[in-house]
Amino acid sequence: MSEKENAAQQTAAEQQSDNVAHALAGAGGGLLSMALTYPLITLSTRAQVEKKKAHTGTISAAKRILDREGIAGLYAGLDSALFGITVTNFVYYYWYEFSRAFFQRTTKKTNLNTLESMAAGALAGSATVLLTNPIWVINTRMTARENEADALPTKEGESPKKQKPGTISTLLKILREDGFTRLFAGVLPALVLVINPILQYTIFEQLKQVVEKRRKVGPTDSFLLGALGKLAATSITYPYITVKSRAHVANSDAPKEGMTATLKRIYKEEGVGGLYGGIGPKVTQSVITAAFLFAFKDALYDMTIKARKTLSKKA
């Protein structure tokens, strides 16, 4: 084997190792940030799947869950969510780095332009949706219907006790009652939602350019601009998040309708409020999660690289 081929193989191996390091860091960062903000996800998901007549303020919704289900109610489906976000972020960051490296080799450029970065994000996001959608169907069912658990049999005269559904039991129930294809409910709106981070990135870059014309952009500026980008992106795509959540909790007896038809029906029956139910806690959670994710990811990436170098020396 020639020296050139050896160098090419070594470069490919290093790129693969770096892709895995980014994926592990993203998975760990997502897990930690999800754990810290999960009650906000619960409040948002409940609001998305309930009819308008059941909509209430965030504080009153939280109080109702606490009164009915206790603190555990705010963490309904946490186990599947942590598993889901770990897998989702691992797949996303692996495929993003893979796509980014592919564009770099193809264009022979170190840095990608905005369009190329958006394309890499779209490819990574699409692959992630297709591979992880079943996990989020299970999680949404658990989050939205924790209080609808089957009652455990009790002795005569005792109040029935609720049995909280677990991840496996929820999966088996979906397969038994709705079939395998139900695990891919909401894939189309989920694919549409791939544009959310793309929109966030584009808005962030445009705002950043405006600020850079006046002064140097600092960490605080980046955080605020990132928050504004996330706010705008989530506001634009939120109706599709609602459609996706409702598709996840719908059973096989529900009438089959397309994404556009669902949007029109919700708007007709519940108005704009129906399409944007739970947007307050969702935006709050998204912004906080993004901040924690990037903070944790950078730290975990550095730790992963150091661990890899240490293992390489020992080997």
Number of neighbouring beta carbons within 10 Å of residue 68 = 11
- What is the homologous superfamily of the domain 13-153+166-309 according to CATH? Mitochondrial carrier domain (1.50.40.10)
CA–CA distance, 138 with 129 (Å, rounded to integer): 14
**Model confidence over 74-132: pLDDT tens digits?**
887 787 788 888 888 888 888 888 888 888 888 887 777 777 778 888 888 888 888 88
In the structure, what pLDDT confidence band is assigned to residue 149 with cuts at 50, 70 and 90? very low
pLDDT at 3: 60
* CA–CA gap between residue 124 and residue 9 (Å, rounded): 24
List, in order, residues 6 or more apart from 68 with CB less than 8 Å away. Answer: 147
Give mean pLDDT, residues 202-217.
Answer: 80
- What integer best gives the mean pLDDT of the chain? 76
Say which DSSP state 110 is in.
S
Q: pLDDT confidence of 255, banded at 50, 70, 90?
A: low
Banded model confidence at residue 1, pLDDT cuts 50, 70, 90: low
Percent of the chain with pLDDT over 90: 0
3-state secondary structure of 246: helix
Please report the pLDDT score of residue 211 as a whole number.
Answer: 85
Residue 117 sits at φ, ψ, to 5 deg, of -65, -40
Strands in the chain per DSSP E: 151-152, 161-162
As given in the structure block, the two tokens for residue 6 are: 């050896």
Asked if the model's pLDDT at residue 151 lies above 50, the reply is no
Higher-pLDDT residue of 196 and 47 is: 196
Three-state secondary structure call for residue 157: coil
Task: State the virtual CA torsion across 77, 288, 192, 112 in degrees, nearest 10.
Answer: -130
The whole-angstrom separation of Cα 216 and Cα 104 is: 27
> Does pLDDT of 209 surpass 60?
yes
Burial class (CB in 10 A: 0-12, 13-18, 19+), 187: middle
Q: Tell me which DSSP letter residue 151 carries.
A: E
Residues 6+ apart with CB under 8 A from 144: 45, 46, 49, 245, 248, 249
| 129 in Cβ contact with 187 (< 8 Å) | yes
Q: Is 153's pLDDT higher than 60?
A: no
Question: For residues 38 and 74, is the Cβ–Cβ distance under 8 A?
Answer: yes
**What local confidence, expressed as pLDDT, does residue 217 receive?**
73
**Cα 73 from Cα 175, distance rounded (Å):** 25
| Res. 278: pLDDT tops 80 | no
How many helices (DSSP H) and strands (DSSP E) are in the chain?
10, 2
CA dist list (Å): 35 to 38, 86, 139, 295: 6, 11, 14, 15
- Cα–Cα distance for residue pair 170/84, rounded to 1 Å: 14
For residue 154, is pLDDT > 60?
no
Neighbouring residues of 113: CB distance < 8 A, sequence distance ≥ 6: none
State both tokens at 23. 């994926």
Q: What does the alpha-carbon distance between residue 82 and residue 102 come to, in Å, rounded to a whole number? A: 30
* H-assigned helices in 164-315: 167-177, 187-192, 195-212, 219-249, 259-275, 279-314
> Which regions of 59-191 does DSSP assign to beta strands (E)?
151-152, 161-162
Cα end-to-end distance, the chain, whole Å:
23
The average pLDDT across 230-235 equals 82
